[in-house]
Structure 1
Amino acid sequence: MNLRDLQYLVAVADHQHFGKAAEACYVSQPTLSQQIKKLEEHLGTALFERDHRSVRLTPIGQEIVGRARRVLQEADGLVQLAKSAGDPAVGELRIGAFPTLAPYYLPKVLPMVRKRLPDLKLYLVEDKTPNLLSQLQSGELDAALLALPIRYEGLDAVPLLEESFWLAVAKDHPLAKRKSVSVDDMHGLSLMLLEDGHCLRDQALEVCQLAGAHESTTFKASSLETLRQMVASGLGVTLLPEMALRQDDHGIRYLPIKDAPSRQVALVYRASTARRQSLVLLIQALRKAYEQVRQVA
């Protein structure tokens, strides 16, 4: 049994298909299938239930795959530790970010981060918070940009930025002539929110509870851009984080909310990571870049 066998095992577990797993591992399907069979013979137990339609892990297979992930994670950590031993600013980092942050934050800061850390290559993943946490814990990601609070054992979080929420209304809405609104002004409003799984939805619901507003039951969006278009069409109002605001949205008025809660974004990583020094450099670069963005704005 070697690391390659464990990689094949995890690939089949992830794809639930021998052909797709073989493609992901850049080997032929017969080669991968043969190695999995040899691994099962070596361990003396079946790891997968097979039929002509699907591949499923057996109960013991699930446990073994979990341990295999940890072994591969530790092995990768050894390689990355060796690479960064001489210089933590050299190497690769896999970073995740949630959808209501990634398209508004990353394009602004990454060019400056790359100038500051040209030899630190970043691989980026955009996904919902629960998926990012799963990938972070499994070792698929080195770190993730997530909204606080994060209550998971074995994870450390370093705050990076804080941004406020704004009320977005159509230009002909009764509140559109205001320069700002208070929490009390939002009492009774019906707010369009994102669908389940978005951390911004939970934060928006907290604002609703504080203001005495409520969620619209007729519509849930999959993205902030959908919410923006719905507001511009006069179909409702919503909350948007400050970074998502656009000065050229002529059909929308964005109103700051006095004394409203804000969201805090942090870089979250495993406490046991071997890339801590590289992540410290990344955190410093992200903070510096965001300061420059704020000064320009």
Structure 2
Amino acid sequence: MQLPTLRQLQFLCALADERSFSRAADVCNVTQPTLSSAIKEIETLLGVQLVEREARGASLTAAGEEAVERARVIISSAADLVTAAQQAGAPLSGPFHLGAIPTLAPYLLPRTLASLRDDHPELKLYLREDQTDRLLDGLRKRQLDAALIALPWPTPGIETEVLGEDEFLFIGPKDHKLSKAEHLRPEDLASEDLLLLEDGHCLRDHAVSICALNPSRAGSDIGATSLATLVQMVAGGLGISLVPRIASEAGVAAGADVTIRPFETPIIGRQIGIAWRAGSAREVDARLIGDVVKRVLAGCQGETAPR
């Protein structure tokens, strides 16, 4: 039985993504006639039409959609084979694409990367900061090898390992009544103007969930794009908020006229975890990076948040 080549399958997947023979050829770094000929060869081999040629591009037939779905699995498995062979006996070496959410990357990665550089000089890290859903999509598409995210979060097709816990702290203007209150409980925030990050940031969802807030009330119509912006909004008297301890200890509020304090009963707002694609050949490397993050987090727990 004659089988399609991996290169032919790559051409088919590129055409599915680009919906254009010329753009797919550019992506694959071949001429358009070469790509078109390869698609015809696959169709002849399979005995079924996969692509409908149109004046302004191309679309897949039902058989083409099925073929592309299976082709992606085959290409992914072949890439895993190569990676596993290259990494055998040499963990944490070569290129590794690591993602991290914006509320972790600036505060956790500097200490993590320093340790990785010292212990694994052969590792070449490529970093990407993005929101959780896009990082998980990057894992599924093999654009990332692992990602540091906040849990809980739905992760179909993705495996995760919890690395530590991150406490939520109160942050408010220094003259705010809750900044001076003798006792501080989560329910005290229910009647206040709570500022949060924009939609799409997992920290927003975690904060709303933990404090049992009404999302329609939280943050009014204002959403911050980053924790640093959120701190400045609080300092400007626009409201109060929550800040992860790991960000507080890394100095996210340095120089701002705010008060940061823990709640009377500590709020574990989120778990910090590492995620990788199920079945990935880089699982061992992901877990090893997770071990480094665990050590960094353990060191953070001995520090005290600014008041």
Q: TM-score range by the shorter chain?
A: 0.7 to 0.9
State which drifts further: 165-174 or 46-55.
46-55
- Determine if the alignment matches structure 1 residue 225 to structure 2 residue 228: yes
Q: Which amino acid in 2 is paired with 1:242? A: R
Shift of 1:263: 0.8
Q: Which amino acid in 2 is paired with 1:284? A: D
CA distance, structure 1, for counterparts of residue 199 and residue 13 of structure 2: 29
Shift of 1:68: 1.7
CA distance, structure 2, for counterparts of residue 35 and residue 292 of structure 1: 55
Shift of 1:203: 0.4
Q: Which residue of 1 aligns with 2:245?
A: 242
Show CA shifts across 1:59-103 (max 9, x none). 433332222221111111101111111222323332222222222
- Determine if the alignment matches structure 1 residue 101 to structure 2 residue 104: yes
Q: Does the CA-based 8 Å contact 1:194-1:220 persist in structure 2?
A: yes
Q: Runs of 4 or more off by more than 6 Å in structure 1?
A: 210-213
- Say which SS state the counterpart of residue 261 (structure 1) adopts: strand
1:1-297 counterparts in 2 under 5 A? 1-48=4-51, 51=54, 56-152=59-155, 154-178=157-181, 181-209=184-212, 214-245=217-248, 246-259=252-265, 260-292=267-299
Larger radius of gyration: 2
Over 3 Å counting, the alpha-carbon distance change for 1:121 and 1:212 in structure 2 is closer
Over 3 Å counting, the alpha-carbon distance change for 1:59 and 1:234 in structure 2 is farther
Q: Does the CA-based 8 Å contact 1:94-1:141 persist in structure 2?
A: yes
Q: Does the CA-based 8 Å contact 2:210-2:269 persist in structure 1?
A: no
Shift of 1:256: 1.9
Q: Does the CA-based 8 Å contact 1:180-1:256 persist in structure 2?
A: no
CA distance, structure 1, for counterparts of residue 204 and residue 113 of structure 2: 26
CA distance, structure 2, for counterparts of residue 225 and residue 58 of structure 1: 48
Over 3 Å counting, the alpha-carbon distance change for 1:103 and 1:61 in structure 2 is farther
Show CA shifts across 1:233-260 (max 9, x none). 2222222212223252323322322332
- Say which SS state the counterpart of residue 254 (structure 1) adopts: strand
Q: Which amino acid in 2 is paired with 1:250? A: A
Q: Which amino acid in 2 is paired with 1:281? A: L
Q: Does the CA-based 8 Å contact 1:10-1:69 persist in structure 2?
A: yes
Over 3 Å counting, the alpha-carbon distance change for 1:144 and 1:190 in structure 2 is same
CA distance, structure 2, for counterparts of residue 231 and residue 291 of structure 1: 29
- Say which SS state the counterpart of residue 69 (structure 2) adopts: helix
CA distance, structure 1, for counterparts of residue 63 and residue 243 of structure 2: 46
- Say which SS state the counterpart of residue 219 (structure 2) adopts: strand
Q: For structure 2, which runs of at least 5 residues remain unmatched after alignment?
A: none
Q: Does the CA-based 8 Å contact 1:155-1:271 persist in structure 2?
A: yes
Q: Does the CA-based 8 Å contact 1:188-1:212 persist in structure 2?
A: no
Q: Does the CA-based 8 Å contact 1:109-1:290 persist in structure 2?
A: no
State which drifts further: 27-36 or 228-237.
27-36
CA distance, structure 1, for counterparts of residue 259 and residue 216 of structure 2: 19
TM-score (norm 1): 0.84
Q: Which amino acid in 2 is paired with 1:199? A: C
State the percentage of identical aligned residues.
41
Q: Does the CA-based 8 Å contact 2:231-2:253 persist in structure 1?
A: no
CA distance, structure 2, for counterparts of residue 135 and residue 212 of structure 1: 28
Over 3 Å counting, the alpha-carbon distance change for 1:186 and 1:74 in structure 2 is same
Shift of 1:286: 2.5
- Say which SS state the counterpart of residue 205 (structure 1) adopts: helix
Q: Does the CA-based 8 Å contact 1:8-1:36 persist in structure 2?
A: yes
CA distance, structure 1, for counterparts of residue 300 and residue 96 of structure 2: 23
